[in-house]
Amino acid sequence: MKLSVPGARRIPGRIPAARKVKATATAAVAGLALSGLFAGAAPAANAAPAPAPRPVQAVQPAQAAPSTAFAAPDIPLANVKAHLTQLSSIAAANGGNRAHGRAGYLASVNYVKGKLDAAGFTTSVQQFTSSGSTGYNLIADWPGGDTNQVVMSGSHLDSVTAGAGINDNGSGSAAVLETALAVSRAQLKPTKHLRFAWWGAEELGMVGSRYYVNNLPSADRSKISGYLNFDMIGSPNPGYFVYDDDPTIEQTFKTYYAGLGVATEIETEGDGRSDHAPFKNVGIPVGGLFSGADYIKTAAQAQKWGGTSGRAFDQCYHRSCDTTSNINDTALNRNSDAVAYAVWSLSGAQ
């Protein structure tokens, strides 16, 4: 999640558009779906481990997910964490980060793209320029479904230069990736078309997602029935926040958490400052989940969710300590399952 003013504390509520970091993204869309595009950029990807029994969690035991007409799968926590391990290894091999314009970001794109290509997705890489460096968005489409009704899920794949960015935003990226792979394992036949995206240069002001939206013809914009955003969903002292944008999407997530007996709150800390904003600004319905950044957890929130009051939801936000140890398994587990629940529910999956 981007910080609007480097080094400054955030003020709750929406950040005026004039304060957002502006970057001019140029260059044409490059359909770079060749499997060798980024060969050699990333360490060899290990196959995700088989699903393992879930450990006893720190906040409260997860309960059975609410039933749906077409039940979404349980997303294996072990698989999501295996993706985080890979992203951590990529950062370690590339100067300690996965930031825009750095080798670690390109390697991250390569890793995710390789998984999706092997799973039968149609992938493309969209190229743009920001701050003098080339950036990349990765788009993956699942075959089938009504292409006039697209359910799109996304997350930003870049980190800040300070560190590996495992919660911000390896967590969202890994959950979206594993949900996409679950679609493939199920050989899903959704009524609506499914599209997944990993954005570049979010930390510079949602540059990649804004470039994507701005270069979509108006006819294609109207085909996106909803965009779901997942930016920081494994915070170590977590909250359970739901975007209050599109009512249908919002209620989908609330229904899921009600089925777990977990209370939610409306997300305000990052409102308008992640990759859903460019979609919302052109009238596309949006929604998403968030587990908190550097705002302080209140006593009431700690009583409701567990964790420690008087401490930030993520004390390592935008710091070098945002590593694989900066993840709460319960939050990551629940939120990953919620991603799949929303994708299955909103797409009319069969």
Which of 265, 230, 225 minimizes the C-alpha distance to 341?
230
Which of 329, 176, 180, 341 minimizes the C-alpha distance to 253?
341
DSSP sequence for 26-94: BS-------TTTTTTSSPPPPPPPPP-PPPPPSS----PPPP-SSPPPPPPHHHHHHHHHHHHHHHHHT
Sole residue written with tokens 């494994």: 234
- Give the pairing type, strands 192-199 and 133-141: antiparallel
Phi/psi of residue 168, each to 5°? -110, 90
Q: How many CB atoms lie within 10 A of CB 35?
A: 12
Q: How far is CA 69 from the centre of its chain?
A: 25
Q: One of 178, 202, 203, 250 is an active-site residue; which one?
A: 202
Our CA dihedral for 339, 288, 146, 255, rounded to 10 degrees, sits at: 70
DSSP designation for 9 = P
Q: Which residues have C-beta within 8 Å of that of residue 320, sequence separation ≥ 6? A: 96, 162, 163
Q: Is 202 noted as a catalytic residue in this protein? A: yes
Residues forming the active site: 202
